[in-house]
Copies of this chain bind each other. A is one copy, B any other.
């Protein structure tokens, strides 16, 4: 760490940005009724009794006049799905409220929907804060939902991956000479994958199918009429390959059929095959809902986000299953 004493604003901002915050939109209305709103992450709680919160606004902000003369303003703690709204209220020169349905609040200040929490405030104090004004508001009414909140850290939006009070440990602490620990990402991914597969595998047993057949049916349910080579291009990442023999077995179970198009042999799902695949996907979704309920909605979103980033950053060049032909 190099200690900075001179004030390079960019370096100072980078240091400040490491302090994680939620994202809020703060709204008010001008005396002539114009709706005003800005995105701010300088919000924080101050006092319980009386209930006070604060935020700061740049003295050169266009909205300073409106907030300085308004008695009432509302703070909206944004939910993860409101990221586009955060961007909209951070920009200038568009009608920020266009198309937004508003709730009725205790004042005329606009009250947005679908937030994680909302605080309807009346200015208690406004204090000098250098190039900003610090607004301290008394909270007159508030509410909150279960929607996972949007997070901001070092200039990027984020989701919170919450740590339980007790450290999560899967097993005993290995002796120091053991080079294989439960902290290996590869171990964790493999074990998570196989545990998620547990219920599916039991269904596959009742369907007299193996894992390879599951991947084959899944691919055909997204993209029908594939040659064996095309099919294998989509499942090769699993290390499993369909063969003429394994496909013949699915044919004999009447789950796939072989058709000839333009002189090429292509596999299609039968109605039975589609139904078998739908049952597998329905089960996978049920397992996922169960997991999401245990982790919490925000944490499940965070897990999916991180897995997508991992997949995107380690993709050996897989063809896009969902791309239009």
Q: Report which A residues bind B (CB closer than 8 A).
A: 1-5, 7, 9, 12-16, 18-22, 24, 41-54, 56, 77, 83, 106, 116-119, 124-125, 127-132, 134, 136, 139-145, 149, 151-154, 156-165, 168-174, 178-198, 200-201, 211, 218, 221-222, 237-239, 277-278, 281-282, 284-285, 287-288, 290-292, 294-295, 299-300, 302-316, 320-324
Contact = CB atoms under 8 A, between A and B. Distances in A.
A188 B20 contact: no
A222 to B, nearest CB: 5
Contacts of A130: 46-52, 124
A192 B9 CA distance: 40
A50 B12 CA distance: 11
Given A117-B18, A158-B163, A184 B142 contact: no
Nearest to A129: B46
A280 to B, nearest CB: 9
Contact of A322 (B13, B157, B178): B178
Given A160-B161, A281-B180, A299-B306, A191 B311 contact: yes
Contact of A16 (B53, B163, B295, B308): B53
